[in-house]
Structure 1
Amino acid sequence: MTTAAPARHARLGPGVSAGYASGSLVTGSFSTVPGLLLLPYLTDTLGVAAALAGVLAFVPKAWNVVLNPVAGRVSDRTRSRFGPRRPYVLGAGSAVGIAFAVMFAGPAAGLAGAAWAAVGYLVTATVFAFFQSPYAAMPAEMTADHTDRTRLMGWRVAGIAVAALVTGAVAPLIVRSAGGGIPGYRAMGIVIGALIVLGAVVAFVGTRRAPLEVAPARESSLRAQLAVAAGNRPFRRLLVIVALQSGATGAQ
């Protein structure tokens, strides 16, 4: 009697890992720059009251909490020749960069400029949800090997850290070097937005050779999935921590 050898999976090369990690430029930039500069932009440049500025900065973060599961479910149901996730990495990721630039391209100061920035931030947060949820789900479908998945996640986390450090340092410099005020923020929005688009494009192209090892599974309802999440005590604790962190960032 013979026993079947365990299935072997093709290892992911460093090119694929680096390509996937390039998407962290989208995550790191969106997570860092608005939290660093949006409130000063609203209060110091546009002249909005601090309390109102805090609300305008917080609402899109709360909206993301609601939208992320929906975005993930939409990508779960997507069927395309590029797989279920990569179209969102390219399309939504590029849209994040464009919306980010528009967010800081308001025509004037005061309430009109604040409304422009607030709507722009909400749109940016919306398309970011449709990037982030599919992007974070990709490692599980790119390889069935636990070591490769861990390596991919390590590349992604490292990429986010580098992107956050670089864009967090560069964005204020761009504002100052472009003369500050509304023109300075416009220039910053264009540059950071272009970097975000670049990250999305490189992530899409860089993962084109990655296999799709999707395990067939019976689709459950959103309510059933939420019930599973609610029954996971460590997940509930982590959710509270993330919500508090997002709230604190939005209220800074």
Structure 2
Amino acid sequence: MTGPDPQRDILPRGPLVGFAAGSLGMGIWVTVPGLLLLYFLTDVLAVTPWLAGLALLLPKVADVLLHPWIGHRCDVEQARRGDRRLLLLLGCALPVTFAALFAAPGGLTGAAAAGWVAVAFVAGNLLFAAYQVPYLATPADLRIGYHERTRLMAFRMVVLTLGILASGLLAPVLAGGDAATRDGYRRMGVLLGVGMLAAMLVGVAGITRLRRGAVTAVAVPDGGWRALTATLRDRQFRPLLAAYLAMSSTTHLVLAGVPYYARYELGRPGLTTVLVAAFVAPALLVTPAWLAVARRVGKQRALLTAQGAFAVGSLVLAVGRPAGLPVLVAAVAVLGVAFAGMQLLPFAMVPDVIRAGTGAAGTYTGLWTATEALGAALGPWAYALCLATGGFVASTAGQSVSQPDAALTAIRWGFGLLPAAAMLVALLVQRRYTLDPAARAAR
């Protein structure tokens, strides 16, 4: 038997690793635009911060409508065909739009360049949703229990971390490092796009093997709006969803702020890769630890711990250069440890909610991924507003400009104080989630 054995409740390692491989490609899409796109707009294409933030926000707002619709279509496909493969294969066209993001025609700057990026971002987000929604519905489709769902998502988290780390380190280098150019960004988009495609195809094959003979049958779901409202009435899903919006916004804000913090606060653009490594690399080591903590105290308590640690680390970053580079890198590493927990635990809790609720998996995950997409836009947009408020001066590649003191302060506080405040909101909302003890008891 190539699928999981419901009696043993253990997923075979081969298909599990294949499933997780899909997150390698997804990690590139989640990381590189979040890390470089705002900086690419303001410091390479000469787009003013407020317009650059808007160009990244509006395409993501469209996702709030698109993802739930895709989730419903995903459930319809599952009920009628017995799988969600069609949407997964459609999503494999994502690498084309990824390359287009960084391939604005020569000469385009300012508003025209922002328009190009926004259109490519809309297309890319739609294709990403087509892949991500059925991908994340897989744990709820399988006949596995509380702890095995966490184990499945732990494998996914490790591979996702590899994708985030590799692309986060490679993308700035491929773009040209301290001397990044438009051609460098274009080359980076093509090379990483090829790797993204290969990983996503492996993920499709892994999902097919996991689902073989081990999928819970579902009926054809109700109409899209009815299914959507039923899901939103779920009293356990709402606080988890709201808390994840705050978490997603915060982590993407930090990611967008890394190049600015490295260049203007620390005075060394090359430290971007160091900070990215400090933020992402801990997940490779601590994900098994978070899995063990979740087994011992439950997913909810573990997640609250991660949120509190992230807030504390952010406050240290608000101090800036006087704290010293080693302390700042250590604070980013604390954020990375917390980030690992915040990537593993909420995604392991969503299948618990789906199993306890009455809605279909695709609708739940459609709303979940819409929230993630919205957070991915709100974070950079909030940081862009900080830059605009401080009077940040946009520039083209190779152009040297002097930033006002208010802009430098905005860069530091936006990277520290704002994430700390947002994460405290996430923690307070997350406390309203009460399903975890019941989910553990039903194991």
Note the C-alpha offset of 1:83. 4.7
- Cα distance, 1:82–1:168 mapped onto 2, change above 3 Å: farther
TM-score (norm 1): 0.86
CA distance in 2, matches of 1:82, 1:155: 27
Q: CA RMSD in A?
A: 2.5
Describe the superposition over 1:52-97 as per-residue Cα deviations: whole angstroms up to 9, x where unpaired: 00000111222222211111111222269985323322331x2111
CA distance in 2, matches of 1:224, 1:201: 33
Matched, 1:249 2:380: yes
CA distance in 1, matches of 2:81, 2:25: 20
Where structure 2 has 5 or more consecutive residues not aligned to the other structure, the ranges are 1-5, 250-374, 384-443
Q: Quick one: which amino acid aligns to residue 128 of structure 1? A: F
Matched, 1:20 2:19: yes
Q: Which has the larger radius of gyration?
A: 2
In the alignment, which residue of structure 1 is the partner of 2:102? 104
In the alignment, which residue of structure 2 is the partner of 1:55? 54
In the alignment, which residue of structure 1 is the partner of 2:143? 144
Larger RCO, structure (CA 8 Å, separation 6 or more): 1
Whether the aligned pair in 2 keeps the contact of 1:178 and 1:187 (CA below 8 Å) is no
Aligned ranges 1:3-152 → 2 under 5 Å: 8=7, 11-78=10-77, 83-92=82-91, 94-108=92-106, 109-110=108-109, 111-141=111-141, 143-146=142-145, 147-152=147-152
| Count of matched residue pairs | 244
Select 2:232's aligned residue among 218, 230, 236. Answer: 230
Divergent runs of 4+, >6 A? 79-82
CA distance in 2, matches of 1:218, 1:81: 7
Note the C-alpha offset of 1:181. 1.5
- Cα distance, 1:70–1:81 mapped onto 2, change above 3 Å: closer
Note the C-alpha offset of 1:178. 11
Q: Quick one: which amino acid aligns to residue 106 of structure 1? A: A
CA distance in 1, matches of 2:227, 2:194: 36
Whether the aligned pair in 2 keeps the contact of 1:42 and 1:48 (CA below 8 Å) is yes
Question: What secondary structure is seen at the aligned counterpart in 1 of 2:89?
Answer: helix
TM-score (norm 2): 0.51
CA distance in 2, matches of 1:116, 1:135: 29
- Cα distance, 1:60–1:243 mapped onto 2, change above 3 Å: farther
CA distance in 2, matches of 1:169, 1:231: 41
CA distance in 2, matches of 1:16, 1:241: 31
CA distance in 2, matches of 1:98, 1:59: 20
Describe the superposition over 1:143-198 as per-residue Cα deviations: whole angstroms up to 9, x where unpaired: 31215433222212222222212211111111116962210110111122112111
- Cα distance, 1:202–1:9 mapped onto 2, change above 3 Å: same
Farther-moved stretch of structure 1 (50-59 vs 228-237): 228-237
